[in-house]
Amino acid sequence: NSAVGLHFLIVEGRAYPGVADEMKWVAVVALAAAGATYDVIAVPGAMEVPVGVAMALETERYDGFVALGCVIRGQSNHYVAVASESIRALAELAVVDALPLGLGILTVENEGQAWARARTNDGDRGGDAARAALALAALKAKLNA
């Protein structure tokens, strides 16, 4: 397997526990299938995911990161700010520090859409985020070889 010896961190926002569990599960399956090891940390919601990644960066223990969260539209447009700021902060961390980071922050209208994007046999966004992190870690290793 291509990722044997690589160690990843899954940072999961827990605002919607069922969806978070599903996304984490499919991310774990994707990492394990590639032969990677992983740790998981939970943060309250999508806004805290980039903070968790930033804190973990200081440990220098991880070859890549999988950022998972879900933002569902409420009665106001607050969800737009939460989603865009979370994603912007993750993108900034990834670019500035050349991080192998897979982005799995869902931005949806309702819980039905969240489940459709989270389930492994449907949208599989957690698995996609893990596979993106794996691909970027492989690219970083190739460029540093």
Please say if 78 is a catalytic residue: yes
Q: Are 31 and 8 in contact (CB under 8 A)?
A: yes
Measured from the Cβ of residue 41, the count of other Cβ atoms closer than 10 Å reads 13
Backbone angles phi, psi at 102, to 5 degrees: -100, 125
Distance (Å, whole) CA 108 – CA 110 = 6
b/e 87-108 (16+ beta carbons within 10 angstroms → b): bebbeebbeeeebbbbbbbbbb
Give the DSSP letter of residue 4: T
Find the catalytic residue in 1, 37, 78, 95.
78
Q: Which residues does the annotation mark as catalytic?
A: 78
